[in-house]
Amino acid sequence: MRLKRVLIVGGTGYLGQHLLQSLAISYEAHPPFSLAFTYNTEPPPQLLLNALPHVLPFHVDMRTGDGLDAISNSFGQPDVVVNCAAISVPRACELDPEAAMAINVPTALVEWLLSFKENKTLLIHLSTDQGYTCAVYEGTKSFYKEEDDVVPVNVYGKSKVEAERFVSAKYPNFAILRSSIIYGPQTIAPLPKSLPIQWMDSVLAKGEALDFFHDEFRCPVYVKDLVNVMRILIDQWISEHKQMQLLLNVGGPDRVSRVQMAEAVAKVRGYNTSLINQVSASSVDRGVKSPADISMDITKLIQTLGVTPTSYAEGVTLTLYAIPQSQQCP
């Protein structure tokens, strides 16, 4: 029996690297599947290639689908595809809406999967990456459920909604995960952009006062919890082959403001909380409209998959005292 094939689209991003590493390490002794990932920057980070030498890299342009045929030819039809590729910076989406729609709506990817004779691939779709949050909700109340109306307030959110509609309408076997702010340890190949908890830590460590919003609420999700959710879905499909059409909120268990996020970092490190200036989100022009409260109800996630998400306070501790990822690789 051949090994099952798992393809991570956007494998050099924050979530993609964490998922690749988790799958590669957990199953190192008796791997049940082959792993591959796509990247859009050339070349992929050497640190990642060195750490995961048995994982196959493929250069793919998600706008056009160029490079997907190379996967068909040398890797074959995947049993599972996890789509982590996206333009996830809201301001960048506002500046180039065409690119946001072309990349965030996985048209080429879905058409490629449908080109295979048998629709036997599970598509796990995410459209967020490091630090950013599910913006399909309007943000006028707390603890949104999956069935609530989606009213995006910016181009980023609109691209995410369109992606969900496209996947659910065109592809028969999918799990769509709406994630909140993703935080956790640095990746194997460190990303050039600051991660949220690490950035707060570095600023507060310098004794610099900084403004944080007291009226913008999210449910930050610890990256390893999100990876665990995806691994459960992968294992279920590979072992049971029961078709999925699933939409889940994947957030952490705590609704916190930006101020409360920073205060948790200060508490873990012993920093002076007077450095945290409380300001209103309305006082800052970020060049893009941002929803005030897109906290999530994750009851369906817990009931469906039986997971227990990490509290924000515990996740911050795990993040700040994590062993560097490069030291954990096989």
Task: Compute the average pLDDT of residues 243-253.
Answer: 95
Provide the percentage of residues in the chain whose pLDDT is more than 90.
67
Query: pLDDT tens for residues 94-119?
Result: 888 888 888 889 999 999 999 998 87
Instruction: Work out whether the CA dihedral 312, 315, 320, 324 comes out positive or negative.
Output: negative
| Percent of all residues in the chain with a pLDDT value above 70, rounded to a whole number | 90
Average pLDDT, stretch 118-134?
71
Angle between helices 196-205 and 312-320 (to 10 degrees): 70
Q: Distance (Å, rounded) from C-alpha 144 to C-alpha 146? A: 7
Q: What is the pLDDT at residue 29? A: 56
The pairing of strands 122-125 and 174-179 is parallel
CA distance 145 to 216: 18
Supply the mean pLDDT for the chain: 88
Q: How far apart are CA 185 and CA 312, in angstroms?
A: 14
User: Has residue 329 got a pLDDT over 50?
Assistant: no
Instruction: Give Dmax (Cα) for the chain.
Output: 62
Are 128 and 103 in contact by the 8 Å Cβ rule? The answer is: no
140: confidence class by pLDDT, cuts 50, 70, 90? low
Question: Would you kindly state where each structural domain of the chain is located, as residue ranges?
Answer: 4-193+219-252+293-310
pLDDT digits 0-9 by tens, 271-312: 999 999 999 988 887 777 777 888 999 999 999 999 999 999
Cross-strand partners of 279? 213
The answer on pLDDT for 219 being more than 80 is yes
Distance CA 285, CA 54 (A): 46
pLDDT of residue 28: 58
Those residues whose C-beta lies under 8 Å from the C-beta of residue 22, and which sit 6 or more positions away, are 224, 227, 231
**pLDDT at site 127:** 60
**Is 80 exceeded by the pLDDT of residue 187?**
yes
Of 54-58, 122-126, 189-193, the poorest mean pLDDT is in 189-193
Look-up of token digits 């943000």:
139
Report the pLDDT averaged over residues 138-156: 77
Instruction: Give the mean model confidence (pLDDT) for residues 161-178.
Output: 94
- pLDDT of 129 reads 43
Q: Which fold has domain 4-193+219-252+293-310?
A: Rossmann fold (3.40.50)
Given pLDDT bands bounded at 50, 70 and 90, which one contains residue 269? very high
Q: Are 126 and 179 in contact (CB under 8 A)?
A: yes
Question: Which phi and psi angles does 277 have, rounded to 5°?
Answer: -85, 130
240: three-class secondary structure by DSSP: helix
